[in-house]
Amino acid sequence: MTLANWIHPLLFAGSDPYADYLVYDTFTDVNGTALNAHTPDKDSVGGGWSYDAGTAFTINANQLDVGPEVPCRAIIDAGQADIKINGTLITPGDDGFQILLRWQDDDNYIRALFELIPMGSIAITKWVAGVPTSVDDLITGIFGARTIDFEITAIGNAIVLKDLTNSKTCSGTVNELQTNTIVGLGDSGAETGPMVVDNFSVAAM
């Protein structure tokens, strides 16, 4: 055994490239695999993905195809409520994409929304006891086929949604739901082309 071969396993044995994350998913799997049958790269709680509404989430070309079934939502337990969510959205531009956080059930959760029609906007909405309330929204004028890197942070009652690619931000406070740890993804419009997500991560804050 050479010195290099001896040193390498000592340095890297047991290393976890996703150690800093609660959830990390590159959606690497066989084409056509249902999301609820797919194992994320990192899943700290261990419950995996489940469908809350619809079953149209599938793996295609090592990305997550989100729809076009409406409603269509998939959720996973991150294990912590104060989090940062990152990912990449690739959209044909005639649809809406939602990131869910602080999820309790269909009537109680927070939604961060990218609306690509008719004029382009981002928004944060809370559902409490089935009643939706706008937290903040911003007309961006960004629509059409896009690749968007996004980030959502939830720390205490402060919620921030960022379109990192286009430097757009909306934010606000949500005093309810602060202990819920489930996050998710969803389709909010029936697109004509594939809308996909890649490199989805959740980190503790």
Q: What is the pLDDT of residues 127-183, one digit of tens each?
A: 999 999 999 999 999 888 889 999 999 999 999 999 999 999 999 999 999 999 999
Assign residue 192 a region: left if phi > 0, alpha if psi is -120 to 50, beta otherwise?
A: alpha
Run of H or E residues at 8 = helix 3-12
Structure tokens at 43: 């899943």
Residue 105, in any domain of the structure = yes
Q: What CA–CA distance (Å, rounded) separates 24 from 118?
A: 32
Residue 174, in any domain of the structure = yes
Query: Residue 110's closest CA among 100, 119, 118, 122?
Result: 100
Q: How many independent structural domains does the chain possess? A: 1
Residue 106, in any domain of the structure = yes
Q: What CA–CA distance (Å, rounded) separates 105 from 127?
A: 10
CB atoms within 10 A of CB 191: 20
Residue pLDDT tens, the chain, 205 long: 444 444 444 444 467 888 899 999 999 999 999 999 999 999 999 999 999 888 888 999 999 998 766 788 999 999 999 999 999 999 887 778 999 999 999 999 999 999 887 789 999 999 999 999 999 999 999 888 889 999 999 999 999 999 999 999 999 999 999 999 999 998 876 556 678 999 999 999 9
Q: What is the pLDDT of residue 4?
A: 44
Residue 11, in any domain of the structure = no
Q: What is the pLDDT of residue 203?
A: 98
Q: What is the pLDDT of residue 1?
A: 44
Cβ partners under 8 Å of residue 9, min gap 6 = none
Q: What is the pLDDT of residue 6?
A: 43
CATH classification at residue 53: 2.60.120.200
Q: What is the pLDDT of residue 82?
A: 98
Domain of residue 128 covers 20-204
Residue 87, in any domain of the structure = yes
Q: What is the pLDDT of residue 121?
A: 94
Q: What is the pLDDT of residue 193?
A: 63
Residue 15, in any domain of the structure = no
Residue 108, in any domain of the structure = yes
Q: What is the pLDDT of residue 124?
A: 98
Residue 81, in any domain of the structure = yes
Cβ partners under 8 Å of residue 125, min gap 6 = 110, 111, 113, 132, 133, 134, 135
